[in-house]
Amino acid sequence: MTQEQCERLYEACYMRVFSYAMTLTKDRGTAEEITQETFFRAFAKQGAYRGEADQVTWLCAIAKNLFIDEQRRRSRLDPMPEEAPSPEKSVERAVAAKDASFRIHLALHGLEEPYREVFELRVFGELSFREIGTIFHKTENWARVTYHRARIRLQERMEEQ
């Protein structure tokens, strides 16, 4: 890709990629950073574009991956709270969390197999869908669908309570 082609791509797609990044981040500064990094990576790895999808789709996929990477990076950082929580609020939160946890486990206990086991392996065992599929001698997609259905059934049971 020549410099002129890169410039045309940038001018043609910048606002669409930026708008997409804004919907993901809800923050102008972060969206601008993601958009710039998207174009940087696209131009640096010109050979990665296979032409199977529209260029905007390809650029938005890059932006989405950058957003996910940013979310993971931020989740690893443990920011210090600006103010110390009051003891009363902490006790209330702990009681509410314990009650919610009990209700979730109660509803989970009532789920039929394989939904319960798939849900537990994913949430508590932190296994990937591929690993779950392997355990059941099924496909990764089967594990995804089963987990999704388990979540729906669990939510329905929680609403019933």
Q: Is 135 a residue whose pLDDT tops 60?
A: yes
- Least confident among 36-40, 41-45, 62-66, 79-83: 79-83
Beta strands in 71-110 (DSSP E): none
Please give the domain boundaries of the chain with CATH numbers for all domains: 3-76 (1.10.1740.10), 87-160 (1.10.10.10)
Q: What's the confidence (pLDDT) of residue 58? A: 83
Number of Cβ atoms within 10 Å of the Cβ of 22 = 16
Helix (H, G, I), strand (E, B) or coil at 27: coil
Arithmetic mean of pLDDT over the chain:
81
Give the pLDDT band (50/70/90) at residue 47.
Answer: low
Q: Is 157 a residue whose pLDDT tops 80?
A: yes
Q: Is 121 a residue whose pLDDT tops 70?
A: yes
User: Whole-model pTM above 0.85?
Assistant: no
Give the pLDDT band (50/70/90) at residue 85.
Answer: low
Give the pLDDT band (50/70/90) at residue 143.
Answer: very high
* More confident position, 94 or 58: 58
Interatomic CA distance for residues 92 and 89, integer angstroms: 5
- Least confident among 86-95, 124-133, 137-146: 86-95
Q: Is 148 a residue whose pLDDT tops 90?
A: yes
| 36, burial (CB in 10 Å: exposed 0-12, middle 13-18, buried 19+) | middle
Give the pLDDT band (50/70/90) at residue 123.
Answer: confident
